[in-house]
Amino acid sequence: MTFEETVKDILQACPGATAAAIIDPDGIPVVVEPGRPEIEVLGAEMASLIREMNQAGRELDHGALRQFSAMADRVQIVLTTMAAGYFLMVLLDPDAVAGRVRLASRLAGERLHSEFV
């Protein structure tokens, strides 16, 4: 399954998911669906946050970050790390149930793992 197919599959399978992107460790999007500039900017900001959270996890001996979610007034964000610093970012409507996205993201990360190592 290609990166594009992966993000489209998540958007189709998860009610309330509005956008998805695979982002590289420097915050540069590999694929964004649908292509909107604000998603690319958010991905860059999230890459910085993931680096900081991973550093804190190492310092506190908690291990590497695997998944992170946040909720704002108008959006939910689910971040799932994959390999080599890449991560999958999915945006959802604020009232969507994020459980399906968390599972689909984790499974997608496992499927794509070999593409990054």
C-beta of residue 72 within 8 angstroms of C-beta of residue 35: no
Quote the pLDDT of residue 37: 86
Quote the pLDDT of residue 1: 78
Residues sharing a CB contact under 8 Å with residue 73, sequence separation 6 or more, in sequence order = 94
Element (H, E) at 90: strand 87-92
Show pLDDT as tens, one digit a residue, over the chain (117 residues): 789 999 999 999 999 999 999 999 999 999 999 988 889 899 999 999 999 999 999 999 999 899 999 999 999 999 999 988 999 999 999 999 999 999 999 999 999 888 877
Identify the domain containing residue 17 by its residue range. Answer: 3-116
Residue 67's CATH number: 3.30.450.30
| Count of structural domains, the chain | 1
The CA-CA-CA angle for residues 28, 57, 27, to 5°, reads 5
Residue 71, SS3? strand
User: What predicted TM-score, i.e. pTM, was given to this entire model?
Assistant: 0.93
Q: Which residue has the tokens 């990054």?
A: 116
